[in-house]
A = this chain, B = another copy of it.
Amino acid sequence: MTYCVGLKIDRGLVFMSDTRTNAGMDSISTFRKMHVWEEPGERVIVLMSAGNLATTQAVVSLLDERSKAVVDRHQALLETASMYQTACMVGDIVKEVIAKSIPVGETADAYFNASFILGGQIRGSEPRLFMIYPEGNFIESTDDTPFFQIGETKYGKPIIIRAYDRTMSFAETVKLLVVSFDSTLKSNLSVGLPIDLLFYEKDTFKVGIRKRFAQDDAYYRTISEGWSNALKAAFQNLPDFSE
């Protein structure tokens, strides 16, 4: 499985993804699930993926080829006129890759499926954040739903629901995501360290902060231990049940 979150705040977009890929319990590998295309001063596009690794790699490879190809330049990822068109392009490629993966004569099933979070900004418009489904269609974040999760989403959702605020700073948002990821890692073996972080600051048109948190990262450990202790203390301070 996988866990990725893309979150919109007033100051920009924050992305976090784990790196664990597993095909069965005894075939565990580390793969980056966060992919970035950048044309400084013009656009930054971030794509995170969950699902069948062959599918997600094929999608990224096709996007890469298109962004580098001389022919078909009008389809290239670095040439799309808007984030909406970028999402359409990614959606089309996802649909195409999944359709090609299904054995001839068989009907589609969930095996080759993949979901994506796409975010970024292209000069001339606002930062935008999308979630793209295996069917190739997609939804966009709004003020009501300012974040998307893909993969193993449930363990880490309650804290985001409770603590998110669009006026948060980048530093607070990272804290929130680290707590959400740590809750997920503690509960589910298929999500694993290291985790990748990217911050895109609105209207900068270049990648902001990028960082990888490994097992021994001091900040990660501070939050993980601090949150465990804080939860226990908060729990102790609530009144016990009495009839």
Binding site for B on A (CB under 8 A): 154-155, 157-159, 161-163, 169-172, 174-176, 178-179, 183, 186-188, 209, 211, 219, 222-223, 226-228, 230-235, 237-243
A228 CB contacts on chain B under 8 angstroms:
162
A241 touches B183 (CB 8 A): no
What would 13 A/B residue contacts be, using CB atoms closer than 8 Å? A154-B155, A158-B186, A162-B186, A162-B232, A163-B232, A171-B240, A172-B240, A174-B241, A179-B238, A222-B238, A223-B238, A226-B237, A231-B234
Copies in the complex: 2
A51 CB, nearest partner CB in chain B, Å: 18
A154 to B234, CA, bound (A): 21
A180 CB, nearest partner CB in chain B, Å: 10
A175 CB contacts on chain B under 8 angstroms:
235, 238-241
The answer to whether residues A179 and B235 also contact, given A154-B155, A162-B228 and a CB cut-off of 8 A, is yes
B155 touches A157 (CB 8 A): yes
The answer to whether residues A238 and B230 also contact, given A154-B155, A158-B183, A209-B243 and a CB cut-off of 8 A, is yes
The answer to whether residues A227 and B222 also contact, given A186-B161, A187-B157, A187-B158 and a CB cut-off of 8 A, is no
A21 CB, nearest partner CB in chain B, Å: 20
Listed from nearest, the 4 A-B pairs whose CB atoms lie closest are: A230-B234, A174-B241, A154-B154, A171-B240
A239 CB contacts on chain B under 8 angstroms:
175, 219, 222-223, 226
A139 to B145, CA, bound (A): 40
A140 CB, nearest partner CB in chain B, Å: 22
